[in-house]
Amino acid sequence: MSETSYRKLQEHLDSLPVGFPKTDSGIEIRILKKIFTPEEAEMAVKLTMMPETVEDFSKRTGMDSSEAGEKLEAMAKKGQIFRMKRGENVYYSAAVFVPGIWEYQLKNLDRELAELFEEFYADAFEGTLKQSNTQLFRILPIEENISPEMDVMPYHQVRDLIRSQRTIAVAECICRKEKRLLGQGCNHLSEVCLLFSHMARFYVENDLARFITVEEALEVLDKAEEDGLVHSPVNTQHIMGLCNCCGCCCGLLRGITQLNMHPSQVARSDFYCVSDSELCSGCGICLERCPVTAITVDEIAVVDRERCIGCGLCVSTCPTEAMSLVAKSEGVTTPPPSTSGDMLMQIAVERMKGGN
């Protein structure tokens, strides 16, 4: 019975927009066993991506309302499903595995779960991302490197995106925590993941994050940029979260640095960096700052445009101002989906059509 419950849950999660594929090793089932009991797995299968109240869930499934409410709330607190509040009403919905259930395990993460995830990452992460053309994440450049003549859209301006938020929380990076549990961590900052709106409240209610002010969030950005981290929100115009990623620990950029995936498969980027050969002194600072090894230095710096993610980390620290940020031409890029719901719907449609 329990094995059937976990396979049903894997198939259910795989039917959601991002997917959670079956592997030859069965690592996905071992992960689910670590996170869910068989009863919780059976309950999770009943949820869809459409938020619904306990009353609506009970009517749809035939479950007793009191029992359903207790189970759904307990599962939300364990990060197995998502919960949000609108006024007096509480809504529950299914969560995709990544980004979702995995990130919600921040408080529960131990070495065993970290080892399981690393095996899943090696087996299935690349295949998961390749199921659609729409990227899950996008890269926002350091704002000071965007020149006025670029006339970029508001969704490119990270500080304005932060200033527009009314509810903000900051959490520890689960990627760095996981790697440190395995003895493979780096020295980059930990508490740099920003959450907004319903996602911020969910994290705080589950003791995964703490509320901060707009000014404190901007300080997080400053420290992240100084520390050489990449601003990586979900690929939407209205963001619910913003990661600050490193190329050594974070699952997103490791797709480029360790799985050798093309950057366009990993995250959307509307910019790239170039080096002025006449100004470059060949000091190599940009080489150290680049999180995805897109720069080589042989007397002067050369940027591999196909590998560059346009984060701008090399631009802000170039002592001769040889590095600059360039916006990709119109027609090469299109506006990202407006909301997370729009993005997931777009990914779901592409998966049905066979991805890329």
Determine the pLDDT at residue 164: 96
Query: What is the amino acid identity at position 102?
Result: W
Q: What is the mean pLDDT of residues 93-109?
A: 96
**Listed residue (59, 91, 54) closest to 71, CA to CA:** 54
Q: What is the mean pLDDT of residues 223-248?
A: 96
pLDDT exceeds 80 at position 278:
yes
| Residue recorded with tokens 């976990």 | 6
Residues 6 or more apart whose CB falls under 8 angstroms from that of 11 comprise 22
Rounded distance between C-alpha atoms, residue 64 and residue 58, angstroms: 6
| Residue recorded with tokens 């993460």 | 109
Q: Which token pair is 79?
A: 């990060």
Determine the pLDDT at residue 132: 83
pLDDT exceeds 70 at position 196:
yes
pLDDT exceeds 90 at position 336:
yes
Q: If pLDDT is split at 50, 70 and 90, which confidence band does 330 have?
A: confident
Torsion of CA 191, 197, 200, 206, to 10 degrees: 180
Determine the pLDDT at residue 248: 94
The pTM score is 0.94
Rounded distance between C-alpha atoms, residue 157 and residue 336, angstroms: 14
- 334, 116 Cβ separation under 8 angstroms: no
Q: What is the mean pLDDT of residues 282-302?
A: 95
- 45, 26 Cβ separation under 8 angstroms: no
pLDDT exceeds 80 at position 169:
yes
Determine the pLDDT at residue 131: 75
Q: If pLDDT is split at 50, 70 and 90, which confidence band does 172 have?
A: very high
Rounded distance between C-alpha atoms, residue 53 and residue 135, angstroms: 30
Q: What is the mean pLDDT of residues 208-222?
A: 98
Determine the pLDDT at residue 142: 94
Establish how many alpha carbons lie within 13 A of residue 42's alpha carbon, considering only the half-sphere containing its beta carbon.
Answer: 12
Helix/strand number for the chain, H first, E second: 16, 13
Name the strands in the sheet holding 230-233, side by side, starting at the edge strand that comes first in the sequence.
209-212, 168-172, 191-196, 241-245, 230-233
Residues present in the chain in total: 356
Rounded distance between C-alpha atoms, residue 21 and residue 247, angstroms: 25
Determine the pLDDT at residue 1: 57
- Which domains does the chain possess? 2-129 (1.10.10.10), 137-352 (3.30.70.20)
Determine the pLDDT at residue 126: 82
**Listed residue (314, 246, 323) closest to 285, CA to CA:** 314
pLDDT digits (tens, 9 = 90+) for 250-262: 999 999 999 988 9
Tell the burial category of 353 from Cβ atoms under 10 Å away from its Cβ (0-12, 13-18, 19+): exposed
Question: Peptide bond preceding 99: is omega within 30 degrees of 0, i.e. cis?
Answer: yes
